Structure formats: structure tokens, C-alpha cells
Amino acid sequence: MHVTDYLVHFSNILMLAAYSVRDILWLRWFAVAAALTNIPYFLLQGTVLWPPVLWALVFTAINLYQIARLYLERRPVVLSQDEQKLYDLGFRSLRPREFVSLSLVGEWKNAEPGERVITEGEPVSSLSIPITGSADVHSRGERIGALAPGHIIGTALALTGEPSPVEVTFTEPARYMRWSLPSLRRFMDARPDLRVTLQGLVNRDLAEKLNLVVK
């Protein structure tokens, strides 16, 4: 057996290793090594086999590009002070990178005392979560409850699409995250894997509010 034949065997061993690992990053590194190991074999033939050489380079370039993307995606996520507070209040079931993607869909807002987030008699067009400041819930001028930081404002009303029977007003200076419903729906449609997790967060929020009402 010619010495160059060992390159083919070694390349296939590398491919076998690639198909045996679970981590997609290692799979791509093994695939790159296998392709590069094959190239000398094609070049050292009596007639250079250019087509497989070119295809090996193409596959190597694709895998290197995907490897770079994986390393970028796996970089530690650094949250801002506001993002960290919101994450701690109710989004720990999401991975930090998923949470950052969700927060980029929304916008940070500041509210003054007396500012309305939901108007009675009007449909809800957004969801909001305060990280500071509390809000009162009124119906027909009567106070029926309060929402603390971490509670989702507008959850049940957004699900029904009906005009709001209540008004929600901040009672003190507040900082909150706001998501418009169309943007949030597009985000969830593009990430069906997160839909179940987000639905769980909404269900937990509704259960907490119901518990407060019962008490």
C-alpha cells in the first residue's frame, strides 16, 4: 500500500470521529481535519485530482465559517444592569442569549407617577414588565389591585383581544420593558422552540396574579 493511501484511511477515521461526537463544534472541526487530510492524497496522484481538491476546500470553508459562528454564539453574555434585573425577576428559565434576543424585540421605557400603561375600554397593544415602580389597577374608578415589579402588565387582556375592562397606572417613577404585540408574535413565530418556555412564564404570571386576588 502506497504511503498516500494512509491519508485516505486517516481521513475516514476522522470522519468516523466526527459522526461519533455529540457536540456540533467538534463535529465540524473533525470534518475540517478530514477534508484537509484528503487534499494531499488528491494532489499526489499521477494526475492531480482537481475536482475533489476544490470540493474539499469548499466544504472546509463552509465548516470554518460555521465554526466561527458557533464560537461567537458561545461567547459569555454580558447583561446590562436593567437587563440583569429583568432577567432575575422572571426570565431565569431562558438562556441568557435567548433573553437578550427577546429584550432586543422590546424597548426600555421610563414612566412618571400617574402614567397609564393600559387604558380602560381600549384594546391592549403591548405587554410591559416593570423592574422598578408599582402600578395600580382600577376598574370604573375603583382600585382593585396592584402590580409589583416583575409582573407582566396586559397578559390576559392581550390573549383575549377584547377592550380592557381595567386601567393600569404607575403610582411612582418606574422603569419598564415594553413589547408591542405584533413584534412579540413575530419573534415567537420565528422561534417555536421558545414558545413553550415563554408560555410557561405567562402561565406562572397569571397564576401569581390569581393568587393575589384570592388572598
Model pLDDT for residues 176-211, shown as the tens digit of each residue: 999 998 898 898 888 887 877 787 777 777 666 655
- Mean per-residue pLDDT for 88-109? 90
- Rounded Cα gap, residues 168 and 34, in angstroms: 62
Residue 151 has pLDDT above 60, yes or no: yes
pTM: 0.68
Residue 214 has pLDDT above 50, yes or no: no
Model pLDDT for residues 11-65, shown as the tens digit of each residue: 999 999 999 999 999 999 999 999 999 999 999 888 899 999 999 999 999 999 9
Residue 159 has pLDDT above 70, yes or no: no
Determine whether domain 81-214 maps to CATH 2.40.50.140: no
* pLDDT value at residue 30: 96
* pLDDT value at residue 95: 87
